[in-house]
Amino acid sequence: MNISESLRNSSAGPKNLRGAELDDTDRLILRLLQDDAKLPNNAIAAAAGIAASTCHARIRSLQERGIIRGYHADVDPAAVGRGLQALISIRLQAHARANLTRFEEYLAELPAVEGIFFVTGDRDFLIHVAVPDSAALRELVASNLSVRPEVAGTSTAVLFDYVRPGTVRPED
Amino acid sequence: MNISESLRNSSAGPKNLRGAELDDTDRLILRLLQDDAKLPNNAIAAAAGIAASTCHARIRSLQERGIIRGYHADVDPAAVGRGLQALISIRLQAHARANLTRFEEYLAELPAVEGIFFVTGDRDFLIHVAVPDSAALRELVASNLSVRPEVAGTSTAVLFDYVRPGTVRPED
DNA sequence: TTTGAAAATTAGATACT
DNA sequence: AGTATCTAATTTTCAAA
């Protein structure tokens, strides 16, 4: 982002960055689909006050532009034998920045990893994990994280809850 | 769960806790639907090697048992004018534990909040937020968090990336 | 872009093994 | 639990405005 863009974006104007170009109808569609991806197209169309075919075309456009990245079932981790969640803060070795992408890919492959947060500034990040029990958590840290040469140290915080609020409301 | 069930579940056997009772077919269905909630039932059935009607019944059962909690579109926050993400650590006042639920509900209503992590032990937690820009982030912390009486202090870390790996793989 | 209407595909329900 | 078959609902395409 260059300086003029930066200045423009920091102004009070309502426009988005990145050729997004969403109108109110798009935003309504996004809100509804985030809430329930199974909502039939004709129901969305009715809610938006447009024809079903128009709604269909808009949704496809949102997908093609990468605004809708996909649709996913939300599965209760506890119900599939992952009743324990934790946040693990990982401090990286100072020299490990170069291979950061490789390490990220490694983390993303671990079945327990639900989310990876890359923090700016520091050489560390956070991972959100879901495991069967505390033994598995210990095992994960010891055998999959601490042993990696990139890792300088870890710090684990057990969660007693994780909540994802309804929607990423466009604007507001 | 009675004692004999508990003992059975805690053994090395493949069974899960909490009347989950998932077999390999269920796990495959969960994996596929987490990956792509739009996958048609007959495609899932074919992948699982069962009849479409059987697959349909299994999916419904997974929903009714709360194992599948819902289906959601994944919307790119940057595309809807929320190009800046951050993790905010919130330390609560010692006496604020009683009203924790109320405060949680307050947080969940904030449009910027994407996820709330309740950390055990300490009287604090983390929220994952997505906002338009750094001005909005400052405003969020100043006007929506710091002013709350429950909040003893906050600490903000800007993210340069957040990744949700494909699936919550059942077992592995 | 939007629309209505056809065509193709899918979901949901039922009865039966 | 699983399957086959039927019907309703939904998605998808498309010519036209």
A89 belongs to a structural domain: yes
**A168·B75 Cβ contact <8 A:** yes
Same domain, B39 and B86: no
Contact partners, residue B97, CB within 8 Å, separation at least 6: B123
B43 belongs to a structural domain: yes
**B171·A80 Cβ contact <8 A:** yes
Distance, CA of A7 to C1' of C2, in Å: 36
Same domain, A115 and A53: no
A82 belongs to a structural domain: yes
Q: Which of A22, A77, A158 sits opposite B120 (nearest CB)?
A: A158
A93 belongs to a structural domain: yes
Number of alpha carbons in the 13 Å side-chain half-sphere of residue B143: 8
Q: Is A135 left (phi over 0), alpha (psi -120 to 50) or beta?
A: alpha
Same domain, B40 and B86: no
For chain B, the domain total comes to 2
Average pLDDT over residues A131-150: 97
**A118·B160 Cβ contact <8 A:** yes
Residue at shortest CA–C1' distance from C5: A53
CATH assignment of the domain containing A108: 3.30.70.920
Domain boundary among A16, A32, A64: A64
Same domain, B115 and B41: no
Question: Quick one: tokens of B75?
Answer: 């919307």
Confidence of residue A3 (pLDDT cuts 50, 70, 90): very low
A168 belongs to a structural domain: no
**B104·A163 Cβ contact <8 A:** yes
Q: What is the pLDDT of residue B81?
A: 93
Q: What is the pLDDT of residue A9?
A: 35
Q: Which of A33, A114, A160 sits opposite B73 (nearest CB)?
A: A33
Same domain, A36 and A105: no
**B72·A34 Cβ contact <8 A:** yes
A164 belongs to a structural domain: no
B164 belongs to a structural domain: no
Mean pLDDT, all residues of chain A? 87
Confidence of residue B3 (pLDDT cuts 50, 70, 90): very low
A44 belongs to a structural domain: yes
pLDDT over 90 (residue A159): yes
Average pLDDT over residues B75-99: 91
What is the pTM assigned to this prediction? 0.85
Same domain, B111 and B149: yes
- B36-67 pLDDT, tens digit per residue, is 999 999 999 999 999 999 999 999 999 999 99
By CB atoms closer than 10 A (0-12, 13-18, 19+), residue A170 is buried
Same domain, B58 and B119: no
For residue B130, the chain A residues in CB contact (below 8 A) are 168
Question: Domain span at residue B135?
Answer: 77-159
- Which residues have CB under 7 A from strand C? A 25, 50-54, 57-58; B 40-43, 52-53, 56, 60
CATH assignment of the domain containing B49: 1.10.10.10
pLDDT over 70 (residue B1): no
Same domain, A82 and A155: yes
For residue A159, the chain B residues in CB contact (below 8 A) are 117-120
Same domain, A84 and A153: yes
Same domain, B86 and B30: no
- Check residues B168 and A63 and name the one with the higher pLDDT: A63
Domain boundary among A17, A36, A64: A64
Q: Which of B160, B163, B168 sits opposite A80 (nearest CB)?
A: B168
Average pLDDT over residues B84-95: 94
Same domain, A101 and A136: yes
- Highest-scoring range by mean pLDDT, A86-95, B98-107, B127-136: B127-136
Domain boundary among B11, B41, B64: B64
Q: Are A117 and A127 in contact (CB under 8 A)?
A: yes
For residue A158, the chain B residues in CB contact (below 8 A) are 119-121
Average pLDDT over residues B2-17: 36
Same domain, A111 and A144: yes
Q: Are A60 and B56 in contact (CB under 8 A)?
A: no
Alpha carbon of B92 to those of A87, B118, B136: distances in Å? 18, 12, 22
Q: What is the pLDDT of residue B5?
A: 37
Average pLDDT over residues A19-25: 83
Average pLDDT over residues B80-109: 91
